[in-house]
Amino acid sequence: MKRAPLVDHFHRSIDYARIAVTSQCNLRCSYCMREDHAKHAGGVSLLTKQEIDSIIKVLAALGLTKVRFTGGEPLLRRDIAELVRAAKNTTGIKTVSLTTNGLLLDRFLPALIDAGLDAINFSIDTLDHERYKAITRRNEYVRARENLDMLLKSSAIAVKLNVVVMRDINSDELQSFVDLTRDYPITVRFLELQPFDDNQIWRTGRFFSAEKIREMLQQCYPGLQPLTGQSTQYFSYTLSEHKGSVAIIPAFTRNFCSQCNRIRVTSNGTIISCLYEKEGLQLLPLLRGNASDDAIADLFRFAVSQKPEDGKHAGRNSSRTSMSEIGG
């Protein structure tokens, strides 16, 4: 049943849901999770496939057209391809994408493509074995790199790389990533570090600004051609003779609240209306209490009505400890 679309008090239309399908992860990126993260996460409150399907159905009826599955690490869910297929088959949903560290991609890629997945964001912050181990606290570089290469060669799906740039950790690797865009039609996205990390790497002087990234890229590539980017891509470039493009995401230094079109659902069924909000609204009791689709839709409407005009400066900021709670 089609319902009135989701528009908030500041005339922003909400058409995009990020759904964390697990909070567990097979890496422990130092800017994201504590080593003992697992004991805080998971359990019976993890949304089931049926519950995720019904959330998407309600959201699509409210006019949402885009879904991104994230986590934690979404490929830790064995039913990830079925989740993608069900989302793709939901009337109204046009694109389904996934953000992943790629460690399990060799197992899932054919099934994901067959299920209709539109795009993958592959997160990898370094192309160096030892640094990968230091950043992620796991010795998994070879697997990550093999799967990245497999994905690049498959050309069956749109690919973006997510690279969180950190001073003196990987800030000297921008060129190695840009080089990948020469042969592959991918977008390399350089991300600013955000202060949502359990280890407070944030406080250790590792922040590297979008402006600084832009300066470095322009020095290395005087022929960078600006593109008109999406709202979150402050800087977006192509290079002649490169098949792909480069984007810089100033997630911290710029405020994109005025263009916000998203809502988030955590893996334990909490609706998060704003990245900077801590508490959220509990959807799980409705899902497990046989509530009607109307009641679920009403909770999403209420969540959207709570979106602050400017979350970053709304004073609700932020005791959130990890992006993995909400999927970035």
Least distance in angstroms from the C-beta of 101 to ligand SF4: 4
> What secondary structure, in 3-state letters, does 81-97 show?
HHHHHHHHCCCCCCEEE
**Token pair for 261:** 């079109």
183: phi then psi, degrees, rounded to nearest 5: -100, -20
Q: Toward ligand SF4, which CB reaches closer, 74 or 308? A: 74
Out of 12, 18, 28, 77, which residue is the one contacting ligand SF4 (CB under 6 A)? 28
DSSP code of residue 302: H
SS3 236: strand
Write out the binding residues for ligand SF4, residues 55-114 only, by CB under 6 A: 71-73, 101
- Residue 211 CB-density burial (10 A; 0-12 exposed, 13-18 middle, 19+ buried): middle
Out of 23, 24, 123, 199, which residue is the one contacting ligand SAM (CB under 6 A)? 123
122: phi then psi, degrees, rounded to nearest 5: -105, 120
* Residue with tokens 């800030």, as numbered in its chain: 171
Count of residues that interact with ligand SF4, criterion CB under 6 A: 12
**Bridge partners, residue 263, by sequence:** 17
**Contact between residue 307 and residue 277 where contact means Cβ atoms under 8 Å apart:** no
Residue 18 binding ligand SF4, by CB under 6 A: no
Out of 29, 201, 248, 304, which residue is the one contacting ligand SF4 (CB under 6 A)? 29
Residue 126 binding ligand SAM, by CB under 6 A: no
Determine the angle formed by the axes of helices 80-88 and 49-61, rounding to 10 degrees: 20
Residue 263 binding ligand SF4, by CB under 6 A: no
**Token pair for 57:** 């159905």
Q: Toward ligand SF4, which CB reaches closer, 4 or 134? A: 134
Residue 199 binding ligand SF4, by CB under 6 A: no
Write out the binding residues for ligand SAM, residues 150-189 only, by CB under 6 A: 162, 164
Instruction: Please give the Cα distance from 51 to 203 (Å, whole number).
Output: 38
By rule CB under 6 A, what string of x and - marks binding of each residue 46-75 to ligand SAM?
------------------------xx-x--
Out of 115, 151, 324, 326, which residue is the one contacting ligand SF4 (CB under 6 A)? 324
Q: Toward ligand SF4, which CB reaches closer, 32 or 260? A: 32
- Report what 70 binds from ligand SAM, ligand SF4, none; CB cut-off 5-8 Å by kind: ligand SAM
Out of 14, 25, 52, 86, which residue is the one contacting ligand SAM (CB under 6 A)? 25
**Token pair for 143:** 């697997």
Separation of first and last alpha carbons in the chain? 30
SS3 73: coil
- Report what 193 binds from ligand SAM, ligand SF4, none; CB cut-off 5-8 Å by kind: ligand SAM
- Dump the DSSP string for 140-171: -HHHHHHHHHHHHHH-SSEEEEEEEEBTTTTT
- Of the listed pieces 127-135, 192-200, 215-223, 296-304, which binds ligand SAM according to CB under 6 A? 192-200
Interface residues with ligand SAM (CB under 6 A) are 25, 31-32, 70-71, 73, 99-101, 123, 162, 164, 191, 193-194, 196-197, 323-324, 327-328
Which residues of this protein are in contact with ligand SF4, per CB under 6 A?
25, 27-29, 32-33, 71-73, 101, 123, 324
